[in-house]
Amino acid sequence: METIKKLIRKQSLEKLYSTLSASRKVYAPVVAADKRVEYKYNPAYAEVTFEHIQSTLSVKNVVFPKVENLMYYTNNKVDSTITDIDLTKIPEVVLWGSHPCDNSAYDVLKSIFCWDIKDEFFAKRLEKLVVIGLACHQSDAYCFCTSVGLTPNSTKGSDILLSKTKSGDYIAEILTEKGNAIATASPDLFENANNEEAVITEVKQTFYHEQVTEKLKTAFEHPFWVANSLRCIGCGACAYVCPTCACFDIQDEAKGKEGRRYRSWDSCGFGLFTLHTSGHNPREVQSQRWRQRIMHKFSYMPDRNKSLGCVGCGRCSRGCPVDMNISEQLQALQNI
């Protein structure tokens, strides 16, 4: 649909939040006791932050939970029965105040989970998701959205995008039918837009992702990977905080005759990730795993999924215990 531009006053935003959270699950950012920003379901409005640069974890868990049951089963000696998960019970979730990089990451995940065969679990959660995004009026040195084709106010992935103005009111860009349904249900809260402009942070472009992708075509055996991954300890934190990392493991867990099959997040940064039953490991050292992380996001995905596997949120660099900075590495790769 064509974008509709409206204005929401500060006070009206609180009313909108209260209306939504009274009838459904609203997942919103709050500042935790240790000062980290995390998302919670239906926090009190006074707790919700509009000033965060980035939450520590991304919000991919609303469509790709850390642990997700895929089926339950009962095993007898002669037969077994399977109970499917009832996907119709997945509730609608309103994601509130997530930034453009995180919102555009849902398209990246979709290009993975719905690439050939549609992953019903992911697709149903995405269908039930309504995104009320928040454009960034602040950023830090780790942000690099502008180097991966996005901006601090990209509308991709949002149903409504809010942008703060100098006076503290918000411009609301209504972008989809889902967003329009929310706006039309509370017409008093959405006023006609005035001439006020949004305050949007500036994020400097530091590399050209097209050039990085081109360089990677011939960089598989380059000494860059060893030289730049010697300090990586393979902890996997970069994958766990990342909004686009989609690796998972599937396990069965049984007690007596009853059991469940579930999937849980995994990481290509772990030594065991590619270990074969034979004992052979095609990625036996950490430099090969680091290369895989970069190659997957900036070479294999553009080639196969027609999508970059990175939205420039900078979380992996903020969270890395040994200061591996992906943006700096991509800048260096552009020039090898």
Contacts of residue 320, defined as CB under 8 A and 6 or more positions apart, other chains included, come to 237, 238
Question: Residue 156 interacts with ligand SF4 (CB under 6 A)?
Answer: no
Q: Which is nearer to ligand SF4, 166 or 304 (CB)?
A: 304
Select from 315, 325, 329, 330 the one that contacts ligand SF4 (CB under 6 A): 315
Question: Residue 147 interacts with ligand SF4 (CB under 6 A)?
Answer: no
Q: Which residues of 237-272 are buried (b: 16+ CB within 10 A; e: fewer)?
A: bbbbbbbbbbbbeeeeeeeeeeebbbbebbbbbbee
Q: Which two tokens stand for residue 218?
A: 């011939």
Question: Residue 141 interacts with ligand SF4 (CB under 6 A)?
Answer: no
Q: Which residues of 58-80 are buried (b: 16+ CB within 10 A; e: fewer)?
A: bbbbbbbbeebeeeeeeeeeeee
Question: Residue 320 interacts with ligand SF4 (CB under 6 A)?
Answer: yes
Select from 310, 330, 333, 334 the one that contacts ligand SF4 (CB under 6 A): 310
Q: What is the CA radius of gyration of the chain?
A: 22
Q: What are phi and psi of 143, to 5 degrees?
A: -70, 135
Select from 43, 97, 152, 269 the one that contacts ligand SF4 (CB under 6 A): 269
Contact 36, 56 (CB under 8 A): yes
Question: Residue 313 interacts with ligand SF4 (CB under 6 A)?
Answer: yes
DSSP 333: H
Count of residues touching ligand SF4 (by CB under 6 A): 25
Q: How far is the CB of 241 from ligand SF4 (least distance, A)?
A: 6
Question: Residue 302 interacts with ligand SF4 (CB under 6 A)?
Answer: no
Q: How far is the CB of 295 from ligand SF4 (least distance, A)?
A: 12
Q: How far is the CB of 101 from ligand SF4 (least distance, A)?
A: 7
Q: How far is the CB of 76 from ligand SF4 (least distance, A)?
A: 43
The angle formed by the CA atoms of residues 23, 26 and 27, to the nearest 5 degrees, is 165
Contacts of residue 236, defined as CB under 8 A and 6 or more positions apart, other chains included, come to 267, 269, 270
Select from 120, 138, 234, 261 the one that contacts ligand SF4 (CB under 6 A): 234
Contact pattern from residue 186 through residue 225 relative to ligand SF4, giving x for each residue in contact according to CB under 6 A and a dash for the rest: ----------------------------------------
Question: Residue 322 interacts with ligand SF4 (CB under 6 A)?
Answer: yes
Q: Which is nearer to ligand SF4, 25 or 222 (CB)?
A: 222
Question: Residue 326 interacts with ligand SF4 (CB under 6 A)?
Answer: yes
The alpha carbon of residue 322 and the mean position of all alpha carbons in its chain are separated, in whole angstroms, by: 23
Q: How far is the CB of 287 from ligand SF4 (least distance, A)?
A: 11
Contact 28, 48 (CB under 8 A): yes
Question: Residue 136 interacts with ligand SF4 (CB under 6 A)?
Answer: no
Select from 94, 139, 312, 325 the one that contacts ligand SF4 (CB under 6 A): 312
Exposed/middle/buried for residue 201 (C-beta within 10 Å: 0-12, 13-18, 19+): middle
Contact pattern from residue 236 through residue 255 relative to ligand SF4, giving x for each residue in contact according to CB under 6 A and a dash for the rest: xxx--xxxx-----------
SS (H, E, C) 76-144: CCCCEEEEECCHHHCCCEEEEEECHHHHHHHHHHHHHHCCCCCCHHHHHHHHCEEEEEECCCCCCCCCC
Q: Which is nearer to ligand SF4, 128 or 215 (CB)?
A: 215
Contact pattern from residue 90 through residue 109 relative to ligand SF4, giving x for each residue in contact according to CB under 6 A and a dash for the rest: --------------------
CA 265/CA 247 separation, integer angstroms: 6
Q: What is the contact surface with ligand SF4 in residues (CB under 6 A)?
A: 232-238, 241-244, 269, 297, 310-316, 320-322, 324, 326
